[in-house]
Amino acid sequence: MIRNDIKALAAYHVPDSADLIKLDAMENPFTMPDALRKSWSEQLAQVDINRYPDADMQGLREKIAARAGVEAGQVLIGNGSDEIIQMLLLAVNPGTCVVPEPTFVMYDLISRWLKRHVATVPLDKDFSLNAKRLLQVCAREKAGIVFLACPNNPTGNLWPEETIRQIASNFNGLLIIDEAYGPFSERTHTHLIAANVMVLRTFSKLGWAGLRLGYLLGDAESISHLNKVRMPYNVNALTQASANFLLDHFAVFEQQAAEICSERERVMAAFMAMDEVQAFPSQANFILIRVADADVVFDGLKAAGILVKNMNGAGGLLAECLRITIGTRDENDAVLTAIREIMA
């Protein structure tokens, strides 16, 4: 009854994090200030939950558009950016999905659900991306769509704008620039939006992972077509009300993102001072490190009450690597202390 290729898939695994310091999923470690939390809950109490949510979300799209410097008609809202990746892979012309390797796993997984072939372009040892090589793969594989996570997950680096421009101007399929970690990076890419270039964003890493809200910015015509494969009520009424509220208090979350970036630099400097740790430059809210034995360090951190993401199983460039989300100052200190003890 179920397709054999679906039976053969490994389900997306979410580990149990009960009682652990949770640094495995790039969440914002800060909770909402109390006064804000109170007015947010008052706002939620106003929602008429007996009614279906606003299907068109014109008001929310206007708010997002104003912040992004585009028109409301250029905004598509999804139940997390994962849902938008699914809409894109459903609607885009037939053809291979081309992605760098390693990158965010959902591009590959959702392509498989939809029986779309995936081709990967290996990154270099320093995680740089060769645009010419990627374009060759696109031509050879007759690619329909390319996803570039900028900064990339799980490596944390941001490829030069020139690399992205080169791909954008020489690829005739659809290029998606995924800015999930844009709030922590030195550069974003709305200025590159064109008929074949769109920018994907999420609220998840900014402090609102529980909301499930992502959005796509693109040219109005393509967005209007993509809207046809969006479930009519894909974003629930509580999420819509929350997003409207939070966008009115955006500065609070920008301040938290700035604090995360400064903690990232402090943690990076501490890693650089450890001979046993190779830390890769990051423009995201996490740092990828390589150690002699990632499984031992992962288990040691867990025994110390800290959950990070062990990338070792993926092999290749991620062999002996751990991805560590930046937490609060105390959480980061706990990580550094535990790693020093494990290494000693």
- Write the DSSP string, 3-67: -HHHHTSPPPP----TTSEE-SS----PPPPHHHHHHHHHHHHT--TTSPPPSS-HHHHHHHHHH
CB atoms within 10 A of CB 153: 21
CB-nearer residue toward ligand PLP: 209 or 270 = 209
State the minimum distance, in angstroms, from the CB of residue 212 to ligand PLP. 7
3-state secondary structure of 71: coil
**DSSP one-letter code for 199:** E
State the minimum distance, in angstroms, from the CB of residue 196 to ligand PLP. 20
CB-nearer residue toward ligand PLP: 26 or 70 = 26
CB-nearer residue toward ligand PLP: 26 or 260 = 26
CB-nearer residue toward ligand PLP: 104 or 171 = 104
CB-nearer residue toward ligand PLP: 27 or 263 = 27
β-pair partners for 149: 178
What's the length of the chain? 344
CB-nearer residue toward ligand PLP: 244 or 274 = 244
CB-nearer residue toward ligand PLP: 247 or 270 = 247
Tell me: cis bond preceding 154? Omega within 30 of 0 counts: yes
CB-nearer residue toward ligand PLP: 80 or 183 = 80
CB atoms within 10 A of CB 34: 7
Which token pair is 103? Answer: 């990158």
Cβ(155)–Cβ(190) below 8 Å: no
Cβ(149)–Cβ(118) below 8 Å: no
Cβ(320)–Cβ(280) below 8 Å: no
Cβ(277)–Cβ(86) below 8 Å: no
β-pair partners for 214: 78, 202
State the minimum distance, in angstroms, from the CB of residue 27 to ligand PLP. 10
State the minimum distance, in angstroms, from the CB of residue 68 to ligand PLP. 16
State the minimum distance, in angstroms, from the CB of residue 105 to ligand PLP. 9
State the minimum distance, in angstroms, from the CB of residue 181 to ligand PLP. 7
State the minimum distance, in angstroms, from the CB of residue 296 to ligand PLP. 26
Q: Sort strands 286-290 and 278-279 into parallel, antiparallel or unpaired.
A: antiparallel
State the minimum distance, in angstroms, from the CB of residue 48 to ligand PLP. 26
Residue 95's nearest CA partner among 195, 153, 173 is 173
Positions touching ligand PLP (CB under 6 A) are 26, 80-82, 104, 149, 153, 178, 180, 202, 204, 214
Which token pair is 75? Answer: 């905004």
State the minimum distance, in angstroms, from the CB of residue 26 to ligand PLP. 6
CB-nearer residue toward ligand PLP: 27 or 320 = 27
